[in-house]
Structure 1
Amino acid sequence: MEAVNGYLRALVTPHLASRAVRVAFVIGTLLFAINHGAAVRSRTMTQARWISAGLTYLVPYAVSIHGQFMGRGGSKGLEQ
């Protein structure tokens, strides 16, 4: 449970978040274009698709944080 709590804290740790935001922007935009580009161009985006589009950016953010968190030794390395 300590590792989960450490990861949740890492999600909002400024020195980890700055890189994760950049990763989420680049990867999320690429995935958004692949998954929703046609719907945006044809103006058929629904509310459910916009929610999915938001998750398209959140997932790379969470994965980037996880990689940084684990690379720093999990909850033991969060203070670094």
Structure 2
Amino acid sequence: MRPILIRGIVVAILVGTILTLINQFERVIALDALNWWKMGLSYLVPFCVSVFSALAVKPK
């Protein structure tokens, strides 16, 4: 279970950062206030997808 969570965290960091830059690039460049709700979801969704898919294919 631990390797699945670690992989999920790594995926969330990589994909979440890319999604945050795509969705809020103008705000990041302008050093404007970020939308924390969108930013949080940009990291949470890839984590959940990664963990769920790994658990779905894991033999019981």
TM-score (norm 2): 0.84
Segments of 5+ residues of structure 2 without an aligned counterpart are none
Q: How many residue pairs were aligned? A: 60
Letter in 2 for 1:65: V
Q: Once the two structures are superposed, what CA deviation does each residue of 1:25-61 show, in whole Å capped at 9, x if it has no partner? A: 1111110100012112223325xx1121011000000
| Higher gyration radius (CA) | 1
Q: Which residue of 2 is the match for residue 5 of structure 1?
A: none
Moved over 4 A (4+): none
Q: Which residue of 2 is the match for residue 29 of structure 1?
A: 17
Q: Distance in 2 between matches of 1:45 and 1:58?
A: 20
Q: Distance in 1 between matches of 2:6 and 2:47?
A: 10
Q: Distance in 1 between matches of 2:30 and 2:24?
A: 10
Instruction: State yes or no: 1:64 paired with 2:50.
Output: yes
After superposition, the CA RMSD in angstroms is 1.4
Q: Distance in 2 between matches of 1:14 and 1:55?
A: 22
Q: Once the two structures are superposed, what CA deviation does each residue of 1:5-26 show, in whole Å capped at 9, x if it has no partner? A: xxxxxxxx42210001111111
Segments of 5+ residues of structure 1 without an aligned counterpart are 1-12
